[in-house]
DNA sequence: TTTTTATATTAGGCATACCTATTTTAACGA
DNA sequence: TCGTTAAAATAGGTATGCCTAATATAAAAA
């Protein structure tokens, strides 16, 4: 049985792209707020358990089994987020931390019943796609809002889920999944964008815009 | 912050009566399925943290703070049990183990919203009373079904929550909270009872009957 | 090619929460 | 009162998952 800590590593590796290509130890350490030696050690253990492949100095990559485990955890996380917002009435900036704990104590049976109760949601409240119970996930082709040219419009697909202050800011702007946003202007040198959401125009820092993923209209 | 393990000890001590009088180390060890030395050690730590008073060879008792913590955990446990049965449709024999894990990862905010969503339930599915958010609990005066004389009737108040097979057996008998049961006969020497539930008569082992708590009618 | 620098690993420790084996305590019966 | 016994304490050890400090590696710059 995978420990809570193991699940957190698998989830982080997956989200940082380690299901595709070797992920640097330092990147993982940064994300999990632990030291590099701790990550090295865990990488070795994940490899021992067949959940990751790991070559010293080369980084860590999930095996098929590791990916499946990671997606199961991510599915539980996103189901709980939906429950917390849709059923208990939490705002989308409150639910990530709660779900981070609930995801590790959820049996497959509770996962299944929860999904039924929520009527099989297709995304989390931040727009990220829901992996299926079979461990598949379909990620829609997306580009950052910052990549749009002036005059182009996009539909928001997803936003970062773990940044509380940014989520509160995006709430104020109305920048949530399904919202339509038009880029009116882009300042050079990765400068701020001017975007229109509904009838309102807003300046938007490039750094923020680069984290809002959209589908081009 | 109390660890998960700490919470489990507090909960077990409370349920075994250690909120009233010193509880023997061996009783706690048996309940938690750990060795006596492990319990001794944790008893000392609980005392250090001000959650229990502990005198070697005398047993362990919860302090006011320890009781409050224990009741908070028990409240979360019972709220999750209600959620799992009432909202997700689990049977009452499936929910204890799930709730045992969920109870340790539930913030006060989730606890509060969950209670609201469930419309402030007064008991768990097994009939045990719900502690309030303020850490108070009212336990109705009860006696075991085995203490009734032939001819006496009682209303089931609560049954053991953690014994899966017994709960399945009680389901078949219809012996659930609020059910009325009449004792028709009691065999001597702690022998089986004959009880009537609705129109049906059933033999009932004394050991089982002693764990069904009722209010005399 | 050699040196520098960033990154990662190894070495050695710590806290938690368990364990078994051994010793101590307390209570009870002879 | 003394010896026996059951319960609980201490002693010493393990695995997990962290840490810091020191060392090794690999990649980039000189």
Chosen for mutation from A100, A110, A111, A118 (greatest number of chain B CBs closer than 10 Å) is A110
d(CA A39, CA A62): 14
Q: How far is B64 from chain A (nearest CA, A)?
A: 28
Residues with CB under 7 A from strand D: A 3-6, 8, 33-35, 37-38, 41-42, 45, 57; B 24-26, 29, 36-37, 39-41, 43-44, 54, 56-57, 59
What phi and psi, each to the nearest 5 degrees, are found at residue A215?
Answer: -105, 130
Taking the C-alpha atoms of residue B77 and residue B67, their distance in angstroms, rounded to an integer, is: 15
Alpha-carbon distances, residue B25 vs A172, B35, B64 (angstroms): 56, 9, 20
Question: Residue A36 CB closer than 7 angstroms to strand C?
Answer: yes
Please measure the distance between the N-terminal and C-terminal CA atoms of chain A and give it in whole angstroms. Answer: 45
Q: How far is the CA of A186 from the C1' of C23 (A)?
A: 79
Share of chain B above pLDDT 90, in %: 92
How many angstroms is C1' of D22 away from CA of A212?
43
Please indicate whether, in this complex, the C-beta atoms of A110 and B98 are within 8 angstroms of each other: yes
For B99, nearest residue in chain A (alpha carbons): A105
More confident residue, A144 or B188: A144
Would you tell me the crossing angle of helices B4-15 and B64-82 to the nearest 10 degrees?
90
Nearest CA-CA distance, residue B166 and chain A, Å: 21
What is the model's pLDDT at position B1? 67
| Digitized pLDDT (tens) for each residue of chain A, 217 residues in all | 689 999 999 999 999 987 888 999 999 999 999 999 999 999 999 999 999 999 999 999 999 999 999 999 999 999 999 999 999 999 999 999 999 999 999 999 999 999 999 999 999 999 999 999 999 999 999 999 999 999 999 999 999 999 999 999 999 999 999 999 999 998 888 889 999 998 999 999 999 999 999 999 8
CA A6 – CA A108 distance, rounded (Å): 17
Interface of A with B (CB under 8 A): 84, 87-90, 94, 98, 101-102, 104-105, 107, 109-110, 113-114, 117
C-alpha gyration radius of chain B: 19
Domains annotated on chain B, with CATH: 4-62 (1.10.10.10), 143-216 (2.30.30.90)
pLDDT given for residue A19 in this prediction: 80
pLDDT for position A134? 95
How far, in Å, is the CA of A21 from the C1' of nucleotide D29?
27
Distance, CA of A36 to C1' of C2, in Å: 29
Check A105 against B102: CB less than 8 A apart: yes
List Cβ neighbours of B2 (8 Å cut-off, separation of 6 or more). B10, B49, B51, B69
Task: Sort out which chain A residues have CB atoms less than 8 A from B98's CB and list them.
Answer: 107, 109-110
- Residue A34 CB-density burial (10 A; 0-12 exposed, 13-18 middle, 19+ buried): middle
Q: Which of B164, B146, B154 is nearest to B209 (CA)?
A: B146
Alpha helices in chain A, H assignment, sequence order: 4-15, 25-32, 36-48, 64-82, 95-102, 108-117, 164-173, 206-209
Residues of B with CB under 8 A from a CB of A: 84, 87-90, 94, 98, 101-102, 104-105, 107, 109-110, 113-114, 117
| Nearest nucleotide relative to B35: CA against C1' | C19
CA distances from A140 to A24, A129, A130, B211 (A): 26, 8, 12, 56
pLDDT of residue B113: 98
Nucleotide nearest residue A36, measured CA to C1': C8
Asked if residue B79 has pLDDT above 80, the reply is yes
Say yes or no for a CB contact (<8 Å) between B109 and A101.
no
Any strand C atom closer than 7 Å to A48 CB: no
pLDDT in tens, B104-143: 999 999 999 999 999 999 999 999 999 999 999 999 999 9
Q: How far is A113 from chain B (nearest CA, A)?
A: 6
* Strand D bases, protein C-beta under 7 A: 7-12, 16-21, 25-26
Round to a whole number and report the distance in Å from the CA of A46 to the C1' of C11.
Answer: 21
Nucleotide nearest to A2 (CA to C1'): D16
Let me know: does A169 contact A160? Beta carbons within 8 Å: no
């Amino acid at each position: 049985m995978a420990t809570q800590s193991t699940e957190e590593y698998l989830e982080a590796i997956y989200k940082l792209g380690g299901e595709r290509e070797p992920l640097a130890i330092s990147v993982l350490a940064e994300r999990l707020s632990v030291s590099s030696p701790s990550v090295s050690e865990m990488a070795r253990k994940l490899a021992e358990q067949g959940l990751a492949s790991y070559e010293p100095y080369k980084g860590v990559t999930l095996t098929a089994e590791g990916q499946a485990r990671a997606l199961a955890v991510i599915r539980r996380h996103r189901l709980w987020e939906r429950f917390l917002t849709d059923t208990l009435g939490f705002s989308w900036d409150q639910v990530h931390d709660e779900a981070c704990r609930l995801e590790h104590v959820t049996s497959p049976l509770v996962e299944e019943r929860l999904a039924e109760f929520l009527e099989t949601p297709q995304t989390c409240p931040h727009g990220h796609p829901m992996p299926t119970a079979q461990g598949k996930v379909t990620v829609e082709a997306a580009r950052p809002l910052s990549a749009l040219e002036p005059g182009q419009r996009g539909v928001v697909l997803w936003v970062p889920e773990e940044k509380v202050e940014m989520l509160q800011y995006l709430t104020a702007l109305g920048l949530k999944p399904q919202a339509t946003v038009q880029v009116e202007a882009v300042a050079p040198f990765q400068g701020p964008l001017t975007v229109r959401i509904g009838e309102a125009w807003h300046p938007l820092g490039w750094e923020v815009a680069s984290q809002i993923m959209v589908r081009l209209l």
